[in-house]
């Protein structure tokens, strides 16, 4: 049976069946392995790529920080809307002095109010605060793409490792069967004792591969769980439940370039330009003199009369105070534009390479599935029969089995590469991680 068909059929119970086999077969070779395997055989919960990404978007530490940053910027927008406060002025003149002003008969008291005409400055501050809020939203979208892609990479890696474990367990089972056949032939005097020792060594090698994959799987699970803020101290209680053999559809170069134009980073540049324009407008508005208007009443104690007061305060020589700041902001924006142009050009080249690699891996999958693996399966069957008849050496038979296993590993690797390349393609073009649907079909 095709190894990936085998994987798809038994996948829901793959961990339990492979571990049970390890406990029985490898207890003599690795005394510590049964206890390790028993832990792995505990009930796990299946987790899909959809669930992994949803948990990441909800609990990833970096994304949680954006929520507080968003709240802070919303507070900044509210604060920017607050105008300069009114001033209440009270004063006493011509009293408590000397001579004719020693009494309060000539005292004058005043009560007035003053305010700054800063409506245009307030509007400029609000526009800048709102632009910064929009910029943060797009920065979060960019970060979301990165963390979702990282989660998908860990998930696909875990899925490939789990299927490599199935293949390694199957190879170990074949090695155990080969050891039994060789031992019978040695007992019957039809094979040399060297073949039996070599078969034992091969079996122990396969067991080491299985044990190593267990550790790699746990490490990948810890990396995956960390994406949603979960710390795995001993052993993760989940396994990936997708279908690695369901390859994504390869998009055309034209479509990839069209998607690139809609990337949040391109939108971010537009918002950054708006932030710069708002900052420049605020700097220019801040240069303008803020007129202060004051009005009130003055009471003349001698005449027992009241008069109206009115005043205007105008700052002088305020022009060009922020010219350096304006030049700085405009230069920074030009720098961002140049960096974005360079990024777009570099990404365009990467997209071409990724699409070529996707096509190459698809050819590898087709070649291995349709030609290489069927031929090696037939060769393995004939080599096993020939060895049992005594017309084929153990070394040649083992070599054929190794080529068979290596071709299946190459197939798993090609499937894995297809998904990883497509994840990177979607991250670079700013599109949704479609493996959420592909891996679960």
| Overall number of domains in the chain | 1
DSSP state of 391: S
**Whole-angstrom distance, CA of residue 224 vs CA of residue 282:** 45
414 and 422 Cβ atoms separated by less than 8 Å: no
- Identify the pLDDT of residue 164: 95
Query: Could you read off the pLDDT tens digit of each residue along the chain, which spans 441 residues?
Result: 333 333 333 333 333 333 333 333 334 334 444 444 444 444 378 888 988 999 998 888 888 888 888 888 888 888 888 888 888 888 888 777 776 666 777 788 888 898 888 888 888 888 888 888 888 888 888 888 899 999 999 999 999 999 999 999 999 998 998 899 889 989 988 888 998 999 999 999 999 999 999 999 999 999 999 998 887 666 678 888 888 888 888 888 888 888 888 888 778 777 888 888 888 888 877 777 777 888 988 888 878 888 888 888 877 766 777 788 888 888 888 888 888 888 888 889 999 999 999 999 999 999 999 999 999 999 999 998 998 888 888 888 889 999 999 999 999 999 999 999 999 999 888 887 654 445 655
Neighbours of 425 (CB within 10 A): 23
441 and 166 Cβ atoms separated by less than 8 Å: no
- Give residue 32's domain range: 3-438
Which residues are registered as beta bridge partners of 296? 112, 309
**Whole-angstrom distance, CA of residue 275 vs CA of residue 129:** 8
With 0-12 / 13-18 / 19 or more C-beta atoms within 10 angstroms meaning exposed / middle / buried, residue 288 is middle
Could you tell me the CATH number of the domain that includes residue 326? 1.20.1600.10
Cα–Cα nearest to 219, from 238, 205, 236, 206: 236
With 0-12 / 13-18 / 19 or more C-beta atoms within 10 angstroms meaning exposed / middle / buried, residue 71 is exposed
Given CA atoms 431, 437, 438, 439 in this order, what sign does their dihedral have?
A: positive
**Whole-angstrom distance, CA of residue 223 vs CA of residue 231:** 9
With 0-12 / 13-18 / 19 or more C-beta atoms within 10 angstroms meaning exposed / middle / buried, residue 324 is exposed
Dihedral (Cα; 25, 29, 35, 39), 10-degree rounding: -60
Angle at 237 between CA 234 and CA 238, to 5 degrees: 130
Given CA atoms 154, 159, 162, 163 in this order, what sign does their dihedral have?
A: negative
With 0-12 / 13-18 / 19 or more C-beta atoms within 10 angstroms meaning exposed / middle / buried, residue 15 is buried
- Identify the pLDDT of residue 82: 84
Which residues are registered as beta bridge partners of 45? 238
- Identify the pLDDT of residue 233: 61
364 and 410 Cβ atoms separated by less than 8 Å: yes
Strand segments (E) across 219-333: 238-240, 292-300, 305-313
CB neighbours of 427 closer than 8 A, spacing ≥ 6? 145, 146, 149
Cα–Cα nearest to 263, from 358, 346, 355: 346
With 0-12 / 13-18 / 19 or more C-beta atoms within 10 angstroms meaning exposed / middle / buried, residue 278 is buried
pTM confidence score = 0.74
- Identify the pLDDT of residue 220: 93
């Amino acid at each position: 049976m095709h190894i990936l068909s085998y994987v798809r059929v038994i996948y829901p119970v793959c961990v339990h069946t492979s571990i049970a086999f390890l406990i029985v077969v490898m207890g003599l070779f690795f005394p510590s392995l049964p206890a390790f395997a028993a832990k792995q055989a505990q009930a796990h919960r299946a987790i899909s790529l959809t669930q992994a990404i949803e948990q990441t978007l909800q609990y990833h530490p970096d994304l949680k920080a954006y929520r507080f940053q968003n709240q802070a910027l919303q507070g900044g927008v509210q604060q920017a809307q607050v105008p300069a406060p009114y001033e209440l002025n009270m004063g006493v003149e011509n009293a408590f002095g000397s001579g004719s002003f020693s009494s309060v008969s000539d005292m004058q008291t005043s009560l007035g109010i003053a305010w700054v005409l800063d409506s245009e400055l307030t509007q400029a501050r609000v526009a800048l605060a709102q632009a910064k809020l929009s910029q943060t939203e797009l920065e979060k979208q960019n970060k979301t793409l990165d963390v979702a892609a990282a989660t998908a990479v860990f998930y696909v890696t875990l899925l490939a490792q789990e299927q490599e474990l199935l293949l390694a367990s199957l190879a170990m089972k074949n090695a155990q069967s080969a050891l039994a056949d060789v031992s019978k032939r040695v007992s019957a005097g039809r094979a040399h004792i060297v073949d039996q020792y070599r078969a034992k060594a091969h079996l122990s090698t396969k067991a080491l591969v299985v044990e190593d994959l267990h550790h790699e799987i746990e490490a990948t699970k810890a990396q995956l769980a960390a994406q949603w803020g979960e710390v795995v101290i001993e052993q993760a209680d989940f396994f990936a439940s997708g279908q690695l053999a369901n390859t994504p559809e390869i998009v055309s170069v034209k479509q990839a370039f069209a998607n690139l134009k809609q990337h949040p980073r391109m939108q971010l540049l537009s918002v950054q330009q708006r932030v710069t324009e708002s900052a420049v407008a605020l700097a220019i508005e801040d240069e303008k003199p803020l007129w202060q208007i004051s009005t009130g009443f003055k009471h003349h104690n001698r005449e027992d009369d009241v008069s109206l007061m009115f005043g205007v305060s105008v700052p002088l020589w305020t022009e060009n105070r922020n010219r350096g700041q304006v030049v700085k902001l405009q230069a920074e924006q030009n720098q961002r534009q140049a960096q974005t142009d360079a990024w777009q050009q570099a990404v365009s080249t990467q997209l071409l390479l990724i699409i070529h690699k996707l096509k190459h891996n698809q050819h590898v999958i087709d070649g291995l599935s349709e030609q290489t693996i069927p031929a090696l399966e037939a060769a393995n069957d004939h080599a096993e029969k020939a060895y049992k008849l005594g017309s084929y050496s153990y070394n040649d038979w083992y070599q054929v089995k190794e080529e068979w296993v290596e071709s299946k590993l190459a197939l798993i690797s090609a499937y894995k590469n297809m998904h990883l390349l497509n994840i990177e393609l979607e991250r670079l073009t700013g599109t949704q991680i479609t493996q959420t649907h592909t891996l679960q079909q």
